[in-house]
Amino acid sequence: MARVYLSPPDPGPEDRELLLDAFDSNWLAPLGPHVDAFERELARRVGLEHGAALSSGTAALHLGLLLVGVQPGDDVLVPTLTFVATANAVRYVGAHPVLVDVDPTTWCLDVGTVADELDRRARGGRLPAAVVSVDLYGGGPDYADLATVCAEFEVPLIEDAAEALGSSFGGRPAGSFGHCAVFSFNGNKIITTSGGGMLVSSSADLVERARFLASQAREPVVHYEHIELGYNYRLSNLLAALGRGQLGRLDRRVARRRAIFERYRSALEPLGGIEMAPVGPGVESNRWLTCLLIDPGAFGAGPEDVRRALEAMDIESRPTWKPLHLQALYADAPVLGGGVAERVFERGLCLPSGSSLTDADQDRVVGALTALRGGRP
């Protein structure tokens, strides 16, 4: 039996066609018609007009921070429960991440903590240069409140929607909150260009600046003229073609991930000792990964026991993100709270959730958990 992966790429015949079209048209140069179309189509998909296709989600975060004006020495609020890329981008611009705990009902930024911190800092005259919120596993924070709080203190908000393409919060697409938002098309995300990302914004100027900085800040003259420091961050035309095909079938992919989540929920919740990842009111998560909390006392086995049992069956599962304040890399970063993120890490597990997962393979995952549960008093 073939190994079952957590979230493998799931390309279709249309993607192959588009990729070959890009190849045959000899648009192997980085820029080309598929890049332009992918930018337009993805931005439109999240209700915006402008997007810059980039080489990774991390590159998009880096440029987003530069473009909202974060300077060396500034502080930036970041949730502690996220992939390391979110905070690394803050360090790339020479700024300092301040790690904020998450809300137990959303697993995303605790908006009350953000509000208290901005208030405290406003009185001390040292506001952070930006807040980065992360749409974790496809869920989201309370954006109505978070956007209001950031606007009140005039602190720019960047939405790290790397995991949330196809989600919506209060009826608005993930990626449409904040001054700009970031998507990732890494191999394990909802759609993949094998590597890639996008910066989207309602501001044409911001996105134009992103394209400029991503092209080595080359001045628009015929010779190579440079005034500013730039980066080589553009997505290639070939890879954009790959993304367009998958974007066209995004609804089907998201529907499949949601169905997988619901199937896990109905099979696993009755076992007891299992809590599915929560989402806040109005959140329609894409259910990028099905995550759950396992209470070892009530379930009779902990997340690591379950992971090992699945691994023995050649099935990949993974702990939820390890909080950044527990990482050696960020051990000296200030942290506000952290207990909620720690509890998620102690008890959390992500189950195979790819849109190509078969019912038979999902049944094997469920069977493994049921057997573990049954084997205990």
Ligand X SMILES: *Cc1c(COP(=O)(O)O)cnc(C)c1O
Q: Return residues touching ligand X (CB under 6 A).
A: 56-58, 82-83, 85-86, 134, 160, 162-163, 184, 186, 197
* Closer residue to ligand X in complex, CB, 142/160: 160
Q: In this complex, which beta carbon is closest to ligand X, that of residue 134 or of residue 149?
A: 134
| Cβ-based nearer residue to ligand X, 82 or 361 | 82
Cβ nearer to ligand X, comparing 118 with 134: 134
| Distance in Å, CB of 256 to ligand X, minimum | 19
CB 171 → ligand X: shortest distance, Å? 23
**In the bound complex, what is the minimum distance in angstroms from residue 60's beta carbon to ligand X?**
8
AA identity, residue 220: P
Residues with Cβ within 8 Å of 135's Cβ and at least 6 positions away in sequence, in order, are 108, 141, 159, 160, 161, 162, 163, 164, 167, 169, 174
3-state per-residue secondary structure call for the chain: CCCECCCCCCCCHHHHHHHHHHHHCCCCCCCCHHHHHHHHHHHHHCCCCEEEEECCHHHHHHHHHHHCCCCCCCEEEEECCCCCHHHHHHHHCCCEEEEECECCCCCCECHHHHHHHHHHHHHHCCCCCEEEEECHHHCCCCHHHHHHHHHHCCCCEEEECCCCCCCEECCEECCCCCCEEEEECCCCCCCCCCCCEEEEECCHHHHHHHHHHHECCECCCCCCCECCCCCECECCHHHHHHHHHHHHCHHHHHHHHHHHHHHHHHHHHHHCCEEECCCCCCEECCCCCEEEEECHHHHCCCHHHHHHHHHHCCECCECCCCCHHHCHHHCCCCEECCHHHHHHHHHEEEECCCCCCCHHHHHHHHHHHHHHHHCCC
Q: Pick between residue 127 and residue 210 the one whose CB is nearest to ligand X.
A: 210
Minimum CB–partner distance for residue 162 and ligand X (Å): 4
CB of 367 to ligand X, least distance (A): 29
Cβ at position 132, least distance to ligand X in Å: 9
Toward ligand X, which CB reaches closer, 85 or 199? Answer: 85
Looking at beta carbons only, is 129 or 199 nearer to ligand X?
A: 199
Separation of alpha carbons 368 and 349, rounded Å? 14
Q: Which C-beta is closer to ligand X: that of 55 or that of 362?
A: 55
Residue 197 CB, shortest distance to ligand X, in Å, is 5
Smallest distance, ligand X to C-beta of residue 160, A? 5
Q: Which residue is nearest to ligand X (CB)?
A: 57
Picking from 334, 328, 330, the residue whose alpha carbon sits closest to that of residue 128 is 334
Judged by beta carbon, residue 187 or residue 296, the one nearer ligand X is: 187
Cα 281 to Cα 82, 140, 144, 170, 276: the distances in Å are 21, 10, 11, 8, 15
Which amino acid is located at 43 in the chain?
Answer: A
Q: How far is the CB of 152 from ligand X (least distance, A)?
A: 26
Q: Minimum distance from CB of 366 to ligand X (Å)?
A: 26
Residue 206 or residue 235: which is nearer to ligand X going by CB? 235
